[in-house]
Chain A
Amino acid sequence: MQKKSLKVAVLRFPGTNCEFDTQYAFEKLGHTTELVWHENETLPEDIDLVVVPGGFSYGDYLRSGSIARFSPVMKAVTAYAEKSGKVLGICNGFQILTEAGLLPGALKRNNNLHFISKHQNLCVINNDNAFLNLCDKGEVLNIPIAHADGNYYIDDAGFKKLEANGQILLRYSDEKGEPVVVNGSVTSIAGVCNEGKNVFGLMPHPERALEAILGSEDGLRMLKGFEA
């Protein structure tokens, strides 16, 4: 099958710091990327994916992602998502998407109050979506995490909906895929998608797992999923 080349918009807020790694990752896969400043009211034309990258937008003031979500560009992202456009939020991007209401739940301070930065095993929970379709259900991926506010919270009713709709993407796990407590997340959730399965969010950084010699290349397969 001919590989599809994607046009990826990578957002940039004051305090974003993973935008270049994100561009590097998608360009390594043969895609084109464009940085989009938060003051832009529109997204570039003909894009296939919007990535809200990691970092510390607005210094994490008030709550992580709470200020960035009111940026002009986020109105365009919301409109794009409502038209089934694909959006991926990584780390602070995940926090911004939950604050914006594009993803259910919220991200609280880690239970142990530490900033956790390490390689972490993740178990793939659902792969019938545009993001993880190249990964196997139950597969264990090794992806770095680096966050202070990654403790995913959702109420019981919301959790049941997530589970029933197959919206749980990833859980923190051991090498066998058994869930482990990393930051206090509800049932060790590391990533979720919306009901329409076009908006994705995760705390781990796939864009930092591109070279086996640097610890893991599992991130490539995750990001490559969007080609399908």
Chain B
Amino acid sequence: MATKDAPVTNPMIDPVTGEYRVIAPGHTFKSVTDKVSRIVLTSHTPIGWWFGFLLAGSIVCLLMVCMSWLFVKGVGIWAVTIPVAWGFAIVEFVWWIGIGHAGTLISAILLLFKQGWRNSINRFAEAMTIFAVMCAGMFPVLHLGRPWLGYWLFPYPNTMNYWPQFRSPLMWDVFAVSTYATISVVFWYMGMIPDLATMRDRAQSKFAQFSYGLLSLGWRGSVRHWVRYETASILLAGLATPLVLSVHSVISLDFSVAFMPGWHTTIFPPYFVAGAIYSGFAMVLTLAIPIRTFYHLEDLITIRHIDNCNKVMLATGLIVAYGYSSEVFMAWYSASHWEYFMMWNRMFGPMGWSYWTLITCNIALPQLLWSRKLRKSVAFTFIMSLIINTGMYFERFVIVVTSLTRDFLPSSWGTYRATRWDYGTFLGTLGFFTFCFFLFIRFLPMIPMSELRLMLPGAKVREKAEPHSSGTPVPEAGD
């Protein structure tokens, strides 16, 4: 146990509660502002940033090559064919969208639950959401075969007198994902307005002052504005919460509305949402741990954050484990020959290795997170986050590919072997995601300063003195 009766010597541990602090002691409004804004406003770009940025940029070039070749040759360059018509593209679509969900969970659901610790990590978790949704959004469009006609999905008056068909889950997807992308951007931008004003006021160069001035819309911190801003934040959080739950549910309906064994199940919506949050928290940690080390943000993104994220991963991981066991149980309990075979094929068929990888990465290894000591180990958490991300990739691979390879009729069975273009496109989106993230941490405040100020001990107006006692102000906690 971290806190015995021995006197607490670690300054990061709050002696009253015995918990790790959310922010290291000794920070003031000014130190927090300085620390966060200096990362962006410095004229000295760290060499490590350039290295990462250029590496990610070259992977984006790979994505461009893969996409161009796809436009020239068509989806035949991928391994998609009959019976596996949904290959890597859909696996990756679901994987990326899922990663995005943790950002919304942190920014919206934890705000509604008044989880103050989320404040330090919510900005970049939201940024992660937006970039992940951008990556996800590419795949269905690339998968269309004729991607330049993607806009046909939207209802608009046209000379063909054609309108979309709203009874299909694929159509629902269009609205769920586009709404999700829009609301995420709006929420992210609105939350950033006060911080952009801080950047405007602290920037030295004319260009930076002009750009941040334009983006901050002339925010001046009037308390009347703050009241409206707070209302809008709470409302957006309240709207984003049902939205994020609906997005992955709608995506799961793409599968479960079909009659395919392994897809046609009612557990899909909740189990997809839990899996999304699971993988998203893993990605938050994958990003947060290197960034906090590189930019020395250990006193703003503390062990408390890492511990809490690990706890969320443990909890959602168990929900996902329940989902897997429910699938196995239903395969037996349904007494359906096809369901039974599907599960046998998943476990012991030619692609059984992917199922066992998934079980190892998503269920077996994460049980180590029960250990308090390991949850607080930064290196262990980083490795675990990579393992869970891999596991969640395999979950979608198992659902999409192994179900499709062997359906009802043995004569129509097939196999699936991804081509170099499949791998190239996936790697390319990873590069694109990282590339966007590098730009974000260089040009925008990655930690919300206005929300961090709220967490500081001096922020609260505790003692309400009489209006007349203007001579000697009552000292406030933390002063």
Q: Do A and B bind each other?
A: no
Contact residues of B with A, CB < 8 Å? Answer: none
Contact residues of A with B, CB < 8 Å? Answer: none
